[in-house]
């Protein structure tokens, strides 16, 4: 395989599909592993708001950063997406992984679909398809995919869970009828199946023998997929064109310490959020609500992200000293962000997944949170501050892009923000905001369209000065 790490060019390609559960994450991770082993400096970027799939990318590339790398036009805006990609300028190859089906955007539109990102950034696309119970009709579906818009950016196809005989049968049909190249196939490998749960795939670290599973897939890829042709089809971009950097704020004279909850219970953070906090002047201190007894010392801010607290309720509830620290710090006005899993953790009580056992939690949010067995809320929303006053993150009347995805619900979801769906305009109240707190189910990208990180850090500096913290 050709390799030149001294090249001034970076290659980019997107892995997408007609629908979910086609194997995009598996194939993306396997390709990242294959090219990494060939000597390429690689990075994976997820299209859309998903936190879990990027963990597989980072597992393979041995990226030790905490945040998920996402390209999300709704949460971040195009300029911020380009900045994120610019930060990957040292890489030889970027593999973008699409979300859902290729054309599935917001509310039945193309907006923020994998196609939208491929179109704006001019990224070639490789479709992953499972040819189950279908033959020549697959060519018709692919023809519809390529003809749906003027330039689909779709260049080639790989068949997943496909036998060699079916691949050989379909290859001339697809290529003659659609003009797309069929680069190969991946046979069904039961031993390499990734495990799932109610929120989607289990975390990379929870998939037992993940390295071995991916090795099995990579071994097959080398024999059944023309990966050299895949590289040829990817788009080469001059690395010099990727020189934009997220700059540290000129006003960030003070360096407030912000504690970030980070363990298997709280692990959902966007890379853009963490980088934006640092760019605004914050020093990030990572801690575990599961295993540490106390919050880090001398902090001026607290960020508890999403994750899986419902899988660790006994351990979280048993760590009473940590909960007492958090409870008293928030009551004393410590600037705090607690979203989704972090919001659940702040409740008086939380029921387990069977809704049988109840566990005491931090006790900032009155009432209990419990598992509903179904998606309570899913998708993008605009959060509007209808309180009539400015708060820590939200200016009065301002609308902030956010995302929800949760199976748990609360007796006390909050009413400080008006959430509105971007399509259909259904609205409902949720979340809590104050001069020192944001707590709610919606996930925010602090490095997105609005200066949320800068506002959070500014309040942390003020708190630090008020309380004599070391800055």
pLDDT at site 245: 47
pLDDT at site 243: 45
pLDDT at site 424: 78
pLDDT at site 192: 61
Sign of CA dihedral 20, 22, 26, 31: negative
Find out whether 178 and 146 touch, Cβ atoms under 8 Å: yes
Q: Which of 24, 37, 4, 2 is nearest to 104 (CA)?
A: 24
pLDDT at site 201: 54
Q: Dump pLDDT digits (tens) for 190-201.
A: 776 765 545 555
Q: Which residue has 């990734």 as its token pair?
A: 194
Q: Is 237 left (phi over 0), alpha (psi -120 to 50) or beta?
A: beta
CA 382 to chain centre: 18
Alpha-carbon gap, residue 429 to 406, rounded angstroms: 16
Token digits of residue 259: 């504690």
Map the chain to HEC letters: CCCCCCCCEEEEEEEEECCCCCCHHHHHHHHHHHHHHCCCCEEEEEECCCCHHHHHHHHHHCCCCCCECEECHHHHCHHHHHHHHHCCCCCCEEEEECCCCCCCCHHHCCCCCHHHHHHHHCCCEEEEECCCCCCHHHHHHHHHHHHCCCCCCEEEEEEECCCHHHHHHHHHHHHHHHCCEEEEEECCCHHHCCCEECCEECCHHHCCCHHHHHHHHHHHHHHHECHHHHHHHCEEEEHHHHCCCCCCCCCCCCCCEEEEECCCCEEECEHHHHHHHHHCCCEEEEECCCCCCCCCCCCCEEEECEECHHHCHHHHHHCHHHHHHHHHHHHCCCCEEEECHHHHHCEEEEECCCCCCEEECCCCEEEEEEECCCCCEEEEEEEEECCCCCCCCCCCCCEEEEEEEECEEECCCCCCEEEECCCCCCEEEECEECCCEEEECCECCCCCCCCHHHHHHHHHHHHHHHCCCCC
> Could you give the C-alpha distances from 273 to 49, 133, 257, 439, in angstroms and in order?
12, 43, 15, 16
Hey, what's the torsion of the CAs at 355, 343, 53, 191, to 10 degrees?
-30
Q: Which of 84, 61, 63, 64 is nearest to 72 (CA)?
A: 84
pLDDT at site 309: 96
Alpha-carbon gap, residue 450 to 443, rounded angstroms: 14
Q: Is CATH 3.40.50.880 correct for 257-466?
A: yes
Active site residue 162: no
Alpha-carbon gap, residue 334 to 337, rounded angstroms: 10
In the chain, CATH 3.40.50.880 sits at 257-466
pLDDT at site 9: 86
Alpha-carbon gap, residue 37 to 31, rounded angstroms: 10
pLDDT at site 244: 45
Alpha-carbon gap, residue 330 to 463, rounded angstroms: 12
Q: Dump pLDDT digits (tens) for 59-84.
A: 899 888 889 999 999 999 999 999 88
Q: Is CATH 1.10.3720.10 correct for 9-242?
A: no
> Could you give the C-alpha distances from 177 to 101, 143, 152, 165, 225, in angstroms and in order?
22, 7, 16, 19, 21
Among candidate residues 47, 162, 267, 340, the one labeled active-site is 340
Longest dimension (CA), the chain: 73
Give every residue of the chain whose pLDDT is below 50, as ranges: 1-3, 5, 197, 243-245
In the chain, CATH 3.40.50.300 sits at 9-242
Non-local (6+) Cβ contacts of 134 within 8 A are 141
pLDDT at site 199: 52
CA geometry: angle 187, 70, 378, nearest 5 deg: 85
């Amino acid at each position: 395989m050709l390799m030149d790490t001294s090249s001034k060019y970076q290659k980019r390609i997107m892995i997408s599909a007609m629908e979910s559960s086609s194997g995009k994450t598996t194939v993306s991770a396997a390709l990242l592993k294959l090219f990494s082993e060939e000597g390429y400096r690689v990075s994976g970027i997820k299209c859309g708001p998903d936190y879990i799939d990027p963990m597989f990318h980072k597992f393979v590339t041995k990226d030790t950063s905490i945040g998920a790398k996402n390209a999300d036009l709704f949460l971040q805006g195009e300029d911020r997406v380009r900045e994120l990609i610019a930060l990957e300028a040292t890489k030889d190859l970027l593999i973008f992984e699409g979300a859902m089906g290729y054309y599935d955007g917001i509310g039945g539109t193309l907006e923020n679909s994998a196609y939208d990102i491929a179109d704006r950034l001019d990224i070639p696309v490789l479709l992953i398809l499972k040819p189950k119970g279908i033959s020549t009709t697959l060519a018709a579906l692919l023809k519809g995919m390529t003809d749906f818009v003027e330039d689909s950016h779709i260049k080639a196809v790989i068949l997943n869970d496909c036998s060699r005989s079916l691949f050989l049968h379909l290859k001339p049909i697809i290529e003659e009828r659609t003009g797309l190249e069929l680069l190969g196939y991946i046979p069904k490998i039961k031993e390499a199946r990734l495990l799932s749960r109610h929120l989607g795939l289990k975390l990379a670290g929870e998939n037992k023998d993940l390295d071995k599973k991916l090795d099995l897939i990579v071994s097959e890829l080398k024999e059944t997929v023309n990966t050299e042709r895949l590289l040829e089809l990817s788009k080469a971009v001059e690395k010099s064109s990727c020189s934009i950097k997220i700059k540290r704020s000129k006003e960030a004279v003070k360096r407030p310490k912000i504690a970030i909850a980070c363990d298997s219970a709280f692990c959902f953070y966007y890379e853009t959020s963490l980088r934006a906090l640092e760019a605004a002047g914050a020093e990030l201190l990572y801690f575990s609500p599961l295993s540490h007894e106390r919050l880090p010392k001398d902090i001026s801010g607290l960020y508890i992200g999403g994750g899986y607290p419902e899988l660790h309720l006994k351990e979280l509830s048993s760590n009473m000293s940590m909960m007492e620290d958090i409870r008293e710090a928030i009551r004393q006005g410590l600037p705090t962000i607690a979203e989704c899993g972090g919001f659940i953790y702040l409740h008086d009580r939380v029921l387990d997944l069977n809704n049988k056992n109840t566990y005491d939690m931090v006790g900032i949010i009155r009432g209990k949170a419990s598992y509903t067995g179904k998606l309570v809320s899913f998708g993008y929303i605009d959060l509007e501050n209808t309180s009539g006053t400015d708060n820590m993150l939200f200016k009065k009347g301002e609308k902030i892009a956010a995302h929800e995805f949760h199976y748990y619900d609360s007796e006390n979801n909050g009413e400080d923000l008006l959430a509105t769906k971007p399509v259909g305009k259904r609205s409902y109240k949720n979340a809590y905001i104050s001069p020192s707190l944001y707590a709610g189910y919606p996930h925010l990208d602090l490095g997105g369209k609005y200066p949320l990180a800068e506002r959070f850090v500014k309040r942390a500096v003020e708190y630090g000065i008020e309380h004599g913290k070391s800055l």
